[in-house]
Amino acid sequence: MRMRALILSSLLASGAAVAKEEGVPTGKLPADVAPLHYALHLTVDPRRDRFDGEARIRVRLAKASDHVWLHAQQMNIRAARVTDAAGATSDAQAVAHADGGVLEVRFAHRLAAQEVELAFDYDAPFNGQLEGVYKVKVGDDAYAVTQMEPVSARLAFPGFDEPRFKVPFDLALTVPVQDVAVANTRPLREEKSADAKWKTIAYATTPPLPTYLVAFAVGPWDVAEAAPIPPNAVRKSALPLRAIGPRGSKDKLAWALEVAPAIVKFYEDYTAQPYPFDKLDLLGAPDFSAGAMENAGLIIYRDAYLLTDAHSAADHYRSVFNIEAHEIAHQWYGDLVTVPWWDDIWLNEAYATWGQAKATSALRPEYHADLESLEARLYAMANDSLLSTRKIRQPILGRGDIETAFDSITYQKGAAVLAMFERWVGEDTFRKGMREYLASHAFGSGSSDDLIASLTQASGKGDAFAKGMRSFLDQPGVPLVRSELACNAGKATLKLAQSRYLPYGVLSKDAPRWGVPVCARFGRGGGSDAQCFLLERPEQQFDVAGSCPDWYLPNADARGYYRFDLAADDLGRLGAAAAKLSAPEQLVYADAVDSGFRRGSVSAGALLDAMPPLAGADMPQVATALLGRYEWIREHLADAATRPALDAWVTRLYAPRLVRLGWRRKDGEPGTDTAMRTRIAEFLAMVVRDPATRAELAKQGRAALALDGGGKPDLTRADADLLVTALKVTVQDGGEPAFDAAQGAFEADRDTTERYALLGALGATRDPALGARARDYGLSAAVQIGEMGRLYEAQADEPENRAALWQWLTQHFAAYRKRLPPFAQAWLPKTFSPGRCSVADADEMSAFLAPRAKDLIGGDRGLGQALEGIRQCGALREHVDRKALAEWVAAHAVK
């Protein structure tokens, strides 16, 4: 409110005239003013509603001016001053422009080109959507936490809130004496106030940082200190290491601490650059909008993604490791070298995603990071098959483009493109280019073009490399490689053609052309070999070395970011040889069948026929590869007559394996068994609704919620890996008593992972009255902002709930939207998309959301993608031959 008053009064003065003259820079700030250094002193008491700040920014004016532009948002600036190079200080006028947080500082008179210091006294509210400086209450405890990326530092302090401005920060925090305060660097000094109620901590000057990597946290934190990470060939001094969590969480921080040193060393070896900051803190916040944030020297997580204990699911340990590997990778990729502008943000995220898989493969081979990345890449390909998808390097035209840049195209497609070009030039060559890039831009900025230049030089492949890589960055879509093998007199030739992969019914006038490194595996007798070809033209022919193969796979090692299309006999021969392929290659084969189905060229029967050979695979990702498509066929094509028969067929395919695996994790069992059990149990219980599977899970869920006696709820009574599904089944089948018990357990529980499981169970109820309670409950103060998505996603997963959920959204849109962090707003339409599969479904969603999309950051893009997905689904459903499916079902009836 104070901000509004400020805008109004200044416009009445002379603001309008200046704004008209020059234009308010709502995109990039002008190039003639640059910050050199920040000194920030913030007074933060998380029990209050606002915090106070003093900011002094040294600034270089490249030319004479009577004002400068910078950023500040929702801030009450009480005083602004400017001190010139000669030391003369005068008052300045701070004028807020635009909702995006552009601040104009007007000097009393024109200043010549020189270095000046801007000083601000201000206060600001703790933010209500988990950005800038926000607070979280847990019982009687209050915490202050920061999240600045991408453009929320302007809520915390006035500044030049763009990634290209990298300068040192000196931060001091005044906080209640009983609180723990942490920041990017080590504390240097601490002083108590005269009344002993406050302490002021001054932190070491940071290396050059962009505003979005500044971080601090204040509250009754538990701190677990580990032994410093010892020096090594790359780093000269020991590195202090700590993990920090909410009060009472100390014991749960041990595992995250234990794995950190090896991860740090892995990247030091790979990059030949020492860890860039003076300490490493891993902090788990009780509420957080993203998964984690790579602030320099102070990584902040959702606490669920940092804390572990003896009852954590196996999958949970794996994600804690993965996220830690991702965020630590960012300390080099993003923090040491930062992109100059948001259109290159893919570099940060693709690197960290690609680096994380590398570190995980090396340090935890049992996690099978290759399969995990491949599953994520296939998910990104589904997004990339929409005409409304983003390019990896999408022009940034506004806030919505910045927020929606953090999607699967940036992370997974970006990482896949790096991995594909790495496969083509070889790991050692690629590392050489990476090292050169990091070394020449350390503590500064590096763009896509800088990276491509370094890699191209190392590759020795000249312009073909640069052109190939750019073709994936600067145009959207997944290449479809049509491949034909011809054999003549024992010599084989491969004809490759490229186009854009488009699902059934989607037409595009564009004819994009990529530089695709196509590596193919050729099988002969018991062995096989891989050969790579660069497909640059629409169609090209290549000689295959060696004799005519028995079978071939046009994506050796599954490293290519493309789909392929084979003649039916070649696909058949490949299917027959599937056992000779590596697990990732088997997954790529399954995707070829699935993507063929989505293009309308593989029948439902052929897709179902491909399932049994995969169902017995050792790797859970392979064994369950086609279950998502099965679910689609079951929901959108089957009817009351065919559905039971299909379910009986698929249950016979998977249930025996689940029974053999048993209903609890065994001591020392391989992680693949655990993941197999979790995936199959969830599929049979939630999709097929198999009564036998549900009965077993309900036993565990009822014990966990103490529904049949046994004192208080205790979620550790259920198998940790099956907990989420067991609770859902229990609430769905247990009626109001089970719902009440889950709600009571949720309110008493401080463990975020358990709270997520309980919220999912509340959301999953299929009872209309309980569903109504669940929906309203999600907006209550009992449910934190960062966790409410669990409830609504679980609601939308159950077909019985969808109509009521939609009705509810139309009545509660404003309240729901108000709780969504900026990151999450664009994807609101997607949360309400499950089950929608026709033009009418798309029209209904559009009629309500299109007029409201502008109230959501990135809403137009999110809605556009959701609607296109719904229409694609409808087109495919119309196309698939139901009669043929009925015939297939009749022929495969379980007797």
Judged by CB under 5 A, the number of residues near Zn ion is 2
Smallest separation (angstroms) from Zn ion to the CB of 561: 19
Shortest gap between Cβ of 473 and Zn ion (angstroms)?
Answer: 18
What one-character-per-residue DSSP string does 711-724 give? SS--GGGS-TTTHH
Of 350 and 705, the one with the shorter C-beta distance to Zn ion is 350
Q: Which of 57, 59, 299, 352 binds Zn ion (CB under 5 A)?
A: 352
Peptide bond between residue 150 and the one before it cis (omega within 30 degrees of 0) = yes
| Residue 349 marked in a binding site | yes
Least distance between Zn ion and beta carbon 834 (Å): 27
**Residue whose beta carbon is closest to Zn ion:** 352
From 206-214, 347-355, 483-491, 813-821, span contacting Zn ion (CB under 5 A): 347-355
Could you tell me what percentage of the chain is helix, strand and coil, using 3-state DSSP and rounding each to the nearest 5?
A: 45, 25, 30
Q: Which is nearer to Zn ion, 324 or 719 (CB)?
A: 324
In 672-702, which positions are buried (b, 16+ CB within 10 angstroms) versus exposed (e)?
bbbbbbbbbbbbbbbbbebeebbebbbbbbb
Pick the piece of the chain touching Zn ion (CB under 5 A) from 262-270, 351-359, 502-510, 677-685.
351-359
> Measured on CA atoms in the order 833, 834, 839, 845, is the torsion positive or negative?
negative
Phi first, then psi: give them for residue 668, nearest 5 degrees.
75, 10
Binding status of residue 293 toward Zn ion by CB under 5 A:
no
Q: Is the Cβ of residue 402 or residue 703 nearer to Zn ion in the bound state?
A: 402
Token readout for 456 is 């191209």
Binding track over 78-117 against Zn ion, x by CB under 5 A: ----------------------------------------
Name the token pair of 411: 């992370």
Q: Residue 535 interacts with Zn ion (CB under 5 A)?
A: no
CA distance 587 to 490: 30
Window of 125-133, 199-207, 343-351, 789-797 that interacts with Zn ion by CB under 5 A: 343-351
Catalytic residue among 104, 117, 324, 327: 327
Using DSSP's 3-state secondary structure scheme, residue 63 falls into coil
**Least separation in angstroms between CB 754 and Zn ion:** 26
Q: Known catalytic residue: 436?
A: no
Indicate the residue among 326 and 677 with the shorter CB distance to Zn ion. Answer: 326
C-alpha to C-alpha distances, 859 to 330, 401, 697, 780, 865, nearest whole angstrom: 28, 10, 39, 24, 10
Q: Which is closer to Zn ion, CB of 214 or CB of 352?
A: 352
Q: Shortest approach of Zn ion to residue 299 CB, angstroms?
A: 10
Query: Mind spelling out the 3-state secondary structure of 202-250?
Result: EECCCCCECHHHCCEEEECCEEEEEEEECCCCCCCCCEEEEEEECCCCH
DSSP labels, 850-887:
GGGGGGSTTHHHHHHHHHHHHHHHHHHHHHS-HHHHHH
Q: Please, what is the minimum distance in Å from the beta carbon of residue 405 to Zn ion?
A: 12
Lay out the site mask for Zn ion across 116-155 (x = CB under 5 A, - = otherwise). Answer: ----------------------------------------
Q: Is 842 in the site for Zn ion (CB under 5 A)?
A: no
335 versus 696: smaller Cβ distance to Zn ion: 335
Residues 893/886, Cβ–Cβ less than 8 Å = no
Among the listed ranges 342-350, 536-544, 685-693, 867-875, the one in contact with Zn ion (CB under 5 A) is 342-350
First vs last Cα of the chain: how many Å apart? Answer: 71
Q: Is 409 in the site for Zn ion (CB under 5 A)?
A: no
Q: Is 326 annotated as a binding residue?
A: yes
Residue 330 annotated as binding? yes
Interface segment toward Zn ion; rule CB under 5 A; list 280-288, 345-353, 378-386, 717-725: 345-353
| Bridge partners for 67 per DSSP | 106
User: Which alpha helices (DSSP H) does 683-801 contain, by range?
Assistant: 691-704, 723-748, 752-764, 768-777, 788-797
> Which residues on neighbouring strands pair with residue 52, listed in sequence order?
43, 123
CB of 354 to Zn ion, least distance (A): 11
485 binds Zn ion per the rule CB under 5 A: no
DSSP assignments along 385-400, one per residue: TSTTPPPTT----SHH
Binding site for Zn ion (CB under 5 A): 349, 352
Binding region for Zn(2+): 326, 330, 349
Binding region: 326, 330, 349
Active-site residues, by number, are 327
